[in-house]
A and B are shown apart, each in its own frame.
With several copies, the nearest count.
Chain A
């Protein structure tokens, strides 16, 4: 297998490109995704290659074009609406939650609704409170949806290709800060990554750090720092939230006896809560200290950099959480 280094954005683009070529039922929709190539360049060149009938610029009408995508999916195509900033997904909630997620069930299995909704997430760009949010927890709470939160170019490509072949609505969250900053190896050969399979991004034995999307990189940096101090942290990336690979998460914590859960979404009633609850139960007899949750501060994301950076989980907060676990560890 030959590999190259691709950025996160390039990996996304390549997945779209390959699947557009493979399956002509796939159609992309979004604001300025066509001639302009997408504000984050994830659709660059696709308009030229597949034409205005496959890569479609929409009016500024999120509810409208996501709603249309539901009908397009129900009539045999596979639409891929893009939500430029995940913050705007609020406008399309009804169509995603009450329409896309339920149509199969409400019809007693008569239809499939293959939609891949691509949405961004993540702060740290000084974009203010309405362009920095991460709402993946909402969708993980909705039956009928699948939720994907890739952390590397490799995962992004493999998981997006899987989404584009899935007969169900998938909400695919891309951390916009990773688009051009995160590079990684991606094989030339085609590959798919199944949903529901967590990935151990770093092996370790003293503590488990569970992290997703961009926070995986922050967790890996924290693990590196901890390694210098002789602490061996395992970093586990669930990769998809629905389905969730509970087994791998629980097993890792059973092995290490401690868990720090890291997510860029808000802490309260967020991703870290579910993962903590699952692990607290699954690894009940193995936990040596309370699970630590590291999420965004529960405040609208502020613009000013010193404030914004304080709200988003960083290496330091993860390291401190690990310290708390190791201190709290009961004598064995």
Chain B
């Protein structure tokens, strides 16, 4: 037997990270299938390939910390504890969905878990995240707020305006920029001046850190440090995670026209889940059998969620006028 690696983190934590990443992967693959079979209305924006970022960040959070999510939000929601059953029902527009079918694929939220909504306006959630950080600071319980957003969103003026305010007021806010290399169909470097958001963040007076967004341990460690700093009242920070989405911009885009095969193959070698699996095996935290069992268990759960959601009813038409006002 070869020498075992020492686990970089608590085994239970690593297992949980692995489970959440797998859940995201299987969920996204299932949504794709649901779309392909015509079981869902509209389109979906999948995040398979990007699992390490939301999971690494969210495992550094407390239950009462909040996140804001994006159009590509399924991963954030699962990472923060969202359940696949009401998620899948929401994707299909069923009344059993998190938002009773009113939100849809792009707007899944579970406010009780601190998930303050996903946003179809790219960058639109940055204000909400900063606002949550304001309340958190006011409450004084060390709660933090995380804003997930993409490399494209990073060029919206709202980032700049809230970053200025967050630094000034020392808000416990972590900007997590998932740089998946593309803003829709265009490479981020064609759309982003200078060296990117981490450098800009530093110019605003906050830490700007970049990490391998496909390494869940690295993401976790970086996030943890920034989160703890924010909890201590030392203000906001920006964490840029470099990653890739495997699929297209949405389920209708194969994602091949603007990306090369080689590029994608390079990224596949850095698959976040495989890396985590290797780590679990090499540290002896999980046996190959346990890995296999975990995969099966989660896969089954997601499949069941699909089956159940298919059976579930659409919302009754009377609900159309509900929830406009509180």
Contacts and interface: CB of A to CB of B under 8 A. Distances in A.
A and B, direct touch (CB closer than 8 Å) = yes
Contacts of B104: 126-128, 303-304
A95 interface: yes
A94 interface: yes
Contact of A130 (B100, B121, B317): B121
A328 interface: no
Nearest to B133: A71
Nearest to A58: B165
B246 interface: no
**Central interface residue in B110, B145, B164, B168, by most chain A CB within 10 Å:** B164
Given A67-B158, A306-B314, A108 B100 contact: yes
B222 interface: no
Nearest to B145: A71
A240 to B, nearest CB: 13
B83 interface: no
A66 B128 CA distance: 9
Contacts, number: 269
Contacts of A126: 41-42, 93, 104
Given A32-B184, A76-B135, A65 B111 contact: no
Nearest to B106: A128
**Central interface residue in A63, A75, A130, by most chain B CB within 10 Å:** A75
Interface in A285-325: 297-300, 302-307, 310-311
A108 B134 contact: no
B194 to A, nearest CB: 12
B165 A71 contact: no
Nearest to A85: B120
Contacts of B101: 108, 302-304, 307
Interface string A43-79: 0000000000100011111011111111111111101
B261 interface: no
A129 B106 CA distance: 10
A106 interface: yes
Contacts of A111: 111, 116-117
B1 interface: no
A70 B127 contact: yes
Contact of A128 (B103, B162, B314): B103
Interface residues of A, number: 73
A74 B131 contact: yes
B326 A112 contact: yes
Contacts of A306: 314-317
Nearest to B188: A59
B325 A104 contact: yes
A77 B99 contact: no
A175 to B, nearest CB: 17
B300 interface: no
A99 interface: yes
Contact of B134 (A34, A72, A131, A299): A72
A315 to B, nearest CB: 17
Contact of A36 (B68, B130, B185): B185
B185 A59 contact: no
Contacts of A304: 41, 93-95, 100-102, 104, 314-315
B122 interface: yes
**Central interface residue in B98, B127, B153, by most chain A CB within 10 Å:** B127
A129 B159 CA distance: 22
B131 A168 contact: no
A39 interface: yes
A252 to B, nearest CB: 26
B126 interface: yes
26 contacts: A31-B184, A59-B192, A61-B164, A64-B161, A67-B127, A72-B134, A73-B131, A74-B111, A75-B116, A75-B131, A94-B124, A106-B117, A107-B323, A114-B326, A128-B103, A130-B121, A146-B325, A298-B324, A303-B101, A303-B102, A303-B106, A304-B41, A304-B95, A304-B314, A307-B101, A307-B102
- Nearest 10 Cβ contacts at the A-B interface: A67-B127, A71-B131, A303-B104, A64-B161, A126-B42, A304-B101, A126-B41, A304-B93, A130-B120, A108-B100
